């Protein structure tokens, strides 16, 4: 399966502040990749580079084998882009905006757009500026569905949406993407949403990629073990197999890609007294926090 | 595609075209009501004396009207594009980015041409009704840079509004102020005759200025 997006040795700085160095990303055709990271980890920077709104210091991103700094109109027509906050031309009404975009895309499909608009129960003359964030998200989604792009780039699609609209957005999107073999590259602050939507996960921390793999593989290989120390003052030595260790008084959360056996050996070989040792089932959000740390 | 771009620009500009053209025509109308009033109350002889020998310009009321219209149209057209960085939507459309900007500018310039053109023709016609050809010619030469200043401020508004770094707004503002000062420099009637064509050429060159801001935006300057 070929890659729709390929970023090679991507390096970017804001002034002297490094965002990342030699970052490599690839997104398979037909997959839904979620880019997760804390604030400031470089999610929006990556989205801006992908859309050609930011020139990286070095390295390159290719979409359909074209450098994103110089995408041809033909390739841009294959990409649907959702801006953070569901930004659209607020001075237009829902009829005008559909008419406007239809002129750019020869394969424009107005039915999915109007189907979503029916659900909103708004008049065709309603201005986008007078809509709630949730309603605007449906307009933005409807426009993307009508454009029928091969690749969708969604920047923080859940921002400002209540749970109902988030669910509606995700269900529509996943069904659409899977039915038509679309590729999606998305970011979101709400990781619960991602769990329902994505196939692959890319987790970024400041300056580096922590994980890029299928969600299922990540969730089965990445593990959390909790236990209580007998001596609360004991400081645990962080060995190579430990990805992250959180300690509150005598409560320990240990995150690793290794097995339970490795953890138990570590405790035994270091003479660490403990009770209540258990493996904890994680959600994607738990795993994200476990990997990146709480701070 | 260009039809869609024209449609978007029309949605932004339709009211401002009507309002600015109406205000412009009213300004010209009011100017000639003053002329008629002064003819009646001063007498034609005194009025002629003031115009020919004292350098009184019956059209001075028009001086800042194109400037105000240029600002209004520039803001109405470019401000909605930059709120929440909406210009990203335009740059993402399947058409060359510079082509989009030039089409947008063409729409704004055409709007100004319609607005200023109707004012200019009305001014010319009414001047010809009241004054001999020599005075009309001098008046036309004098008001032409004022109308051109409306285009210049429009181009600078597009440059400033699209610029992503606020420090550059000040720089462009100062440069724009200096340029517009040239067009509005006080002068005797017809005094601008030797430079009117140069001003027109300079105005055409300035029309490309917003491409620079857009280039900086696409490079990710912030």
Name the DSSP letter for residue B131. Answer: S
Q: Which two tokens stand for residue A133?
A: 């964030």
Residues A206, A276 within the same domain: no
Establish, for the pair of chains A and B, how many residue pairs have beta carbons separated by less than 8 Å: 72
Q: Please tell me which of the candidates A51, A73, A104 has its beta carbon nearest to residue B4.
A: A104
Residues A114, A148 within the same domain: yes
Residues A249, A268 within the same domain: yes
Residues A166, A252 within the same domain: no
Q: Look at residue A104 and tell me whether its pLDDT is greater than 80.
A: yes
Q: Please tell me which of the candidates B80, B89, B94 has its beta carbon nearest to residue A74.
A: B94
Residues A195, A232 within the same domain: no
Residue A207: predicted pLDDT: 78
Give the chain B residue nearest A13 (alpha carbons).
B220
Q: Say if A17 falls within a structural domain.
A: no
Residue A163: predicted pLDDT: 82
Interface contact flag, B3 A103, Cβ < 8 Å: yes
Residue A231 near residue A273 (C-beta atoms within 8 A): yes
Residues A106, A119 within the same domain: yes
Residues A129, A227 within the same domain: no
Residues present in chain B in total = 222
Collect all residues of chain A within an 8 Å Cβ-Cβ radius of residue B93: 76, 104
Average pLDDT over residues B69-95: 91
Interface contact flag, B88 A91, Cβ < 8 Å: no
Total structural domains within chain A: 2
Q: Which of A180, A199, A218 is the last residue of a domain?
A: A218
Instruction: Write the secondary structure of B39-80 as one string of H (helix), E (strand) and C (coil).
Output: HHHHCHHHHHHHHHCCCCCCCHHHCCHHHHHHHHHHHHHHHH
Q: Say if A19 falls within a structural domain.
A: no
Name the band, by pLDDT with cuts 50, 70 and 90, for residue B222: low
Q: Please tell me which of the candidates A74, A83, A103 has its beta carbon nearest to residue B88.
A: A83
Of all residues in chain B, the percent with pLDDT exceeding 90 is: 46
Q: Say if A127 falls within a structural domain.
A: yes
CATH code of the domain containing A42:
3.40.50.300
The residue of A94, A104, A151 whose CB has the most chain B CBs within 10 angstroms, and thus the best one to mutate to test that interface, is A104
Q: Look at residue B94 and tell me whether its pLDDT is greater than 70.
A: yes
- Which of A121-125, B3-7, B161-165 ranks highest by mean pLDDT? B3-7
Collect all residues of chain B within an 8 Å Cβ-Cβ radius of residue A91: 11-12, 80
Residues present in chain A in total = 295
CATH code of the domain containing A284:
3.30.70.100
Residues A146, A106 within the same domain: yes
The residue of B11, B87, B91, B96 whose CB has the most chain A CBs within 10 angstroms, and thus the best one to mutate to test that interface, is B11
Query: Which range has the worst mean pLDDT, A21-35, A200-214, B84-98, B201-215?
Result: B201-215
Average pLDDT over residues B177-189: 84
Other CB atoms within a 10 A radius of the CB of residue B90 amount to: 18
Q: What's the mean pLDDT when you consider all of chain A?
A: 89
Collect all residues of chain B within an 8 Å Cβ-Cβ radius of residue A14: 222
Q: Which of A167, A187, A218 is the last residue of a domain?
A: A218
A275: β partners: A228
Residues A198, A242 within the same domain: no
Residue B160 near residue B172 (C-beta atoms within 8 A): yes
Pairing relation of β-strands A58-63 and A3-14? antiparallel
Query: Distance (Å) from the C-alpha of residue A124 to the closest C-alpha of chain B?
Result: 15
Interface contact flag, B88 A102, Cβ < 8 Å: no
pLDDT in tens, A186-223: 988 788 888 888 999 999 888 788 899 999 999 999 99
Instruction: Write the secondary structure of B165-220 as one string of H (helix), E (strand) and C (coil).
Output: CHHHHHHHHHHHHHHHHHHCCCCCCCCCHHHHHHHHHHHHHHCCCHHHHHHHHHHC
Q: Which residues contact B208 (CB under 8 A, 6 or more apart)?
A: none
Q: Say if A139 falls within a structural domain.
A: yes
pLDDT in tens, B100-147: 888 999 999 999 999 999 999 999 999 999 888 888 898 898 899 999
Task: Quote the CA–CA distance of B88 and A48 in Å, as a whole number.
Answer: 10
Q: Say if A7 falls within a structural domain.
A: no
Q: Look at residue B188 and tell me whether its pLDDT is greater than 90.
A: no
| Structure ipTM | 0.83
pLDDT in tens, A250-271: 899 999 999 999 999 999 998 8
Counting other chains too, the contacts that A123-131 makes at CB distance below 8 Å and 24 or more residues apart are A124/A93, A124/A94, A124/A95, A125/A93, A125/A95, A126/A93, A126/A94, A127/A90, A127/A91, A127/A92, A127/A93, A128/A88, A128/A89, A128/A90, A128/A91, A128/A92, A128/A93, A128/A94, A128/A97, A129/A90, A129/A91
Residue B86: predicted pLDDT: 87
Q: Say if A134 falls within a structural domain.
A: yes
Q: Say if A25 falls within a structural domain.
A: no
Q: Which of A218, A248, A275 is the last residue of a domain?
A: A218
Helices marked H in A54-162: 73-76, 94-102, 110-120, 133-147
Q: Look at residue A159 and tell me whether its pLDDT is greater than 80.
A: no
Query: Distance (Å) from the C-alpha of residue B7 to the closest C-alpha of chain A?
Result: 7
Query: Distance (Å) from the C-alpha of residue A279 to the closest C-alpha of chain B?
Result: 45
Residue B9 near residue B107 (C-beta atoms within 8 A): yes
Q: Look at residue B193 and tell me whether its pLDDT is greater than 80.
A: no
Q: Please tell me which of the candidates A48, A52, A73 has its beta carbon nearest to residue B94.
A: A73
Residues A247, A286 within the same domain: yes
Residues A96, A112 within the same domain: yes
Instruction: Tell me the residue ranges of DSSP E strands in chain A.
Output: 3-14, 17-28, 32-37, 58-63, 66-67, 79-82, 151-154, 183-187, 200-205, 208-214, 223-229, 242-248, 251-256, 274-280
Q: What's the mean pLDDT when you consider all of chain B?
A: 88
- Which sign does the torsion angle of CA A184, A189, A194, A196 carry? negative
Q: Please tell me which of the candidates A52, A91, A105 has its beta carbon nearest to residue B80.
A: A91
The residue of B93, B164, B213 whose CB has the most chain A CBs within 10 angstroms, and thus the best one to mutate to test that interface, is B93
Give the chain B residue nearest A81 (alpha carbons).
B92
Interface contact flag, B92 A48, Cβ < 8 Å: no
Other CB atoms within a 10 A radius of the CB of residue A16 amount to: 5
Give the chain B residue nearest A50 (alpha carbons).
B92
pLDDT in tens, A112-125: 899 888 887 788 88
Residues A206, A248 within the same domain: no
Roughly how many angstroms between the first and final C-alpha of chain A, as a whole number?
Answer: 37
Collect all residues of chain A within an 8 Å Cβ-Cβ radius of residue B7: 96, 99-100, 103
Task: Give Cα separations from A197 to A75, A190, A201, A280, B222 (angstroms).
Answer: 25, 11, 10, 23, 33
Q: Which residue has the tokens 């509005």?
A: B184
Q: Please tell me which of the candidates A81, A85, A102 has its beta carbon nearest to residue B92.
A: A81
Query: Distance (Å) from the C-alpha of residue A167 to the closest C-alpha of chain B?
Result: 25
Name the residue range of residue A123's domain: 30-53+71-218
Q: Say if A59 falls within a structural domain.
A: no
Query: Distance (Å) from the C-alpha of residue B5 to the closest C-alpha of chain A?
Result: 8
Residue A190: predicted pLDDT: 80
Domain layout of chain B by residue ranges: 2-219
Nearest to A44 by CA among A12, A16, A76, A78: A12
Give the chain B residue nearest A46 (alpha carbons).
B220
Phi, psi of A34 (to 5 degrees): -105, 125
Q: Look at residue A295 and tell me whether its pLDDT is greater than 70.
A: no
Interface contact flag, B88 A51, Cβ < 8 Å: yes
């Amino acid at each position: 399966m070929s890659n729709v997006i390929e970023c090679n040795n991507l390096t970017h700085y804001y002034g002297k502040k490094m965002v990342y160095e030699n970052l490599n990303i690839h997104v398979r055709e037909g997959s839904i990749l979620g880019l997760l990271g804390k604030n400031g980890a470089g999610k929006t920077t990556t989205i801006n580079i992908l859309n050609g709104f930011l020139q990286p210091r070095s390295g390159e991103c290719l979409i359909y084998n074209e450098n994103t700094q110089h995408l041809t109109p033909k390739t841009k027509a294959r990409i649907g882009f959702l801006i953070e906050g569901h930004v659209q031309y607020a001075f237009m009404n829902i009829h005008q905006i559909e008419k406007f975009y239809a002129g750019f895309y020869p394969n424009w499909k107005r039915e999915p757009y109007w189907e979503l608009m029916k659900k909103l129960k708004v008049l065709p003359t309603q201005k986008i500026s007078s809509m709630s964030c949730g309603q605007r998200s449906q307009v933005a989604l409807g426009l993307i569905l009508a454009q029928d792009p091969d690749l969708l780039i969604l920047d923080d699609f859940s921002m400002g949406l209540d749970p109902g609209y988030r669910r509606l957005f995700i269900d529509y999107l996943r069904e659409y993407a899977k039915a038509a073999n679309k590729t999606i590259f998305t970011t979101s602050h709400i990781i619960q949403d991602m769990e329902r939507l994505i196939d692959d996960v890319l987790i970024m921390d400041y300056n580096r990629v922590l994980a890029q793999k299928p969600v299922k593989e990540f969730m089965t290989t990445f593990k959390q073990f909790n236990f209580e120390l007998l001596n609360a003052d004991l400081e645990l030595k962080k060995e190579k197999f430990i990805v992250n260790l959180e300690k509150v008084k005598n409560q320990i959360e240990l995150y690793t890609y290794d097995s339970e056996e490795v953890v138990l050996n570590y405790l035994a070989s270091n003479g660490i007294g403990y009770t209540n040792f258990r493996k904890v089932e994680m959600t994607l959000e738990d795993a994200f926090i476990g990997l990146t740390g709480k701070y | 595609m260009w039809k869609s771009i024209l449609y978007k620009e029309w949605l932004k500009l339709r009211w401002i075209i009507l309002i600015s053209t109406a205000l412009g025509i009213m300004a010209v109308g009011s100017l000639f009501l003053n002329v008629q009033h002064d003819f009646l109350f001063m007498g034609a002889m005194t009025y002629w004396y003031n115009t020919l020998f004292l350098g009184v310009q019956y059209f001075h009321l028009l001086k800042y009207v194109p400037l105000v219209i240029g600002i209004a149209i520039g803001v109405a057209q470019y401000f909605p594009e930059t709120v929440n960085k909406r210009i990203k939507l335009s740059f993402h459309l399947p058409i060359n980015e510079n082509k989009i900007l030039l089409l947008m500018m063409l729409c704004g310039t055409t709007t100004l041409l319609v607005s200023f053109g109707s004012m200019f023709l009305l001014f010319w016609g009414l001047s010809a009704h009241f004054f001999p050809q020599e005075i009309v010619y001098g008046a036309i030469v004098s008001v032409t840079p004022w109308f051109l200043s409306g285009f210049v401020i429009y181009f600078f508004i597009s440059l400033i509004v699209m610029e992503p770094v606020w420090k550059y707004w000040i720089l462009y503002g100062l440069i724009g102020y200096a340029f517009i000062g040239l067009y509005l420099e006080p002068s005797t009637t017809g005094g601008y005759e030797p430079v009117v064509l140069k001003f027109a050429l300079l105005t055409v060159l300035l029309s490309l200025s917003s491409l620079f801001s857009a280039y900086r935006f696409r490079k990710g300057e912030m």
